[in-house]
Amino acid sequence: MGEDMIREGDNMMGVKRANRSAVLRILHEQGGMSRKRLSESIKLTPAAITKIIGELIDEGLVRDGKLIPGGGAGRREVSVELDEQSRCALGLLINLNQAIVSAVWLDGTVVFSEDIPVEPCAPADETVNYLCTRLMSLAQENKLKKEQLLGVGIAIRGITSSDERSVHNSFGALDCADYPLAQRVEDYTGLSAVMANNVRALFAAQMYLSRDKELHSQFFLRCEYGIGASLSINDRIWLGGTNQCSEIGHIPIVRRGGKPCSCGKSGCLETIASPTAIREDALALLSPTETPVLWKMSLAKGSDELTVKDVLEAASCGDAGAAGIVDRAVTALASALKSVVYVIDPEKIVLYGKMFENEFFLARLMAEMQEGVDAGHRVVTEKSAYNQLLENKAAGLLMVEHFIESGGMP
């Protein structure tokens, strides 16, 4: 056997961690169940299950639940269930112009959440120090005990390092490059931290809360200020060779003369199909002849107050100029997604963001997704069941997921 065929084994502590993780995960995904059913579901002996459950009960992570109805005589079984309020994870999400400090229980229920305005290119150390101070103050105000706290999950806009400890480029959220964000949060809070790109964090929260293990591959598209995406393969988020998997918003679309993008290039998908781009293009075209419906809206509220929602409304009311801009955006976005369908063949595409709450935009996108696609590649495409509901959960759930993955062990 050559060296390239050698695989690293696992020690007994690793096996223990994996078995505990399997128990915690199945109790999260399926709810309370008997020890016998647990044993059958994860293929461990009854003795092994009894020992693991005993440890988890002693640690306060699992508790005895309800009596399970039985058809025969004899002692009835008692279910075991995850004590979802036994532990709590803190969360810090940093987007452009905004941060959210929050906390969640193991089931994703929000303990507290607070939006905090952040200036573009905010000074990193000063900003992170302030956010961590506020986060710990809120934890104290909500009477969270130190022994309950798992740590801090961090979700940030931009590109993170392969070890998920530093931010290479936050695209204007913070004023620095290669910033050791996870270490700084640990320094300021005294708690351990895990980190991910903000879109991956949202997708991880979607996967954790949906508890849908029938789907092994999904493509998650977020369309807010810009356009981001994430991909799961075999129930795990795929990072890619350089930790930049699914940077779909920065696919070059316009070869020459494209608008500058926040990533430093020009002509990216984000410069055509994002809400920001749609609004900017509409304002550039704004006139009584080119965009008559939108022009009337601007007279009533001022052009600076026009939103992407106004552009979509004008397009739906027959404004040819606004409709042309929306059609260009939809065509570009659908083309990118259809490329994903043919190259990756995911089982589902999940759409997330305010844009997909607009029925006009969503219907146009869904129709365009069918154009030029054969029946064998018509992937289920749908708006997230948690659309607009994950921002104050996602960061904290990164730490919850890490905790369960590690079997509830340090």
Q: How far apart are CA 250 and CA 266, in angstroms?
A: 9
Please state, for a pLDDT cut of 90, what percent of the chain lies above it: 80
pLDDT band at residue 78 using 50, 70 and 90 as cut-offs: confident
Mean pLDDT within 48-76: 83
Q: Over the stretch 373-395, which tens digit does the pLDDT of each residue have?
A: 888 888 899 999 999 999 999 99
User: Cβ(262)–Cβ(281) under 8 Å?
Assistant: no
Mean pLDDT within 164-180: 93
- Asked if the model's pLDDT at residue 3 lies above 70, the reply is no
Q: What is the pTM of this model?
A: 0.92
pLDDT band at residue 73 using 50, 70 and 90 as cut-offs: low
Please state, for a pLDDT cut of 70, what percent of the chain lies above it: 95
Mean pLDDT within 121-143: 97
Identify which of 136, 132, 133, 93 has the alpha carbon closest to the alpha carbon of residue 115.
93
Mean pLDDT within 68-92: 83
Q: How far apart are CA 177 and CA 210, in angstroms?
A: 34
Residues 6+ apart with CB under 8 A from 117: 97, 98
pLDDT given at position 313:
97
Q: Over the stretch 228-287, which tens digit does the pLDDT of each residue have?
A: 999 999 889 999 888 888 889 999 998 888 899 988 899 999 999 999 999 999 999 999
Can you list the positions of beta strands (E) in 161-300? 167-169, 193-197, 217-223, 227-233, 236-237
Length of the chain: 410
For 251, counting Cβ atoms within 10 Å of its Cβ (0-12 exposed, 13-18 middle, 19+ buried), the class is middle
- Asked if the model's pLDDT at residue 174 lies above 90, the reply is yes
pLDDT given at position 63:
94
Tokens of residue 208, six digits: 């954790």
Output helix, strand, coil percentages for the chain, rounded to the nearest 5.
Answer: 45, 20, 35
- Asked if the model's pLDDT at residue 107 lies above 60, the reply is yes
Q: Over the stretch 88-101, which tens digit does the pLDDT of each residue have?
A: 999 999 999 999 99
pLDDT given at position 1:
35
Q: Over the stretch 289-329, which tens digit does the pLDDT of each residue have?
A: 999 999 999 999 999 999 999 999 999 999 999 999 999 99
How high does pLDDT run on average in the chain? 92
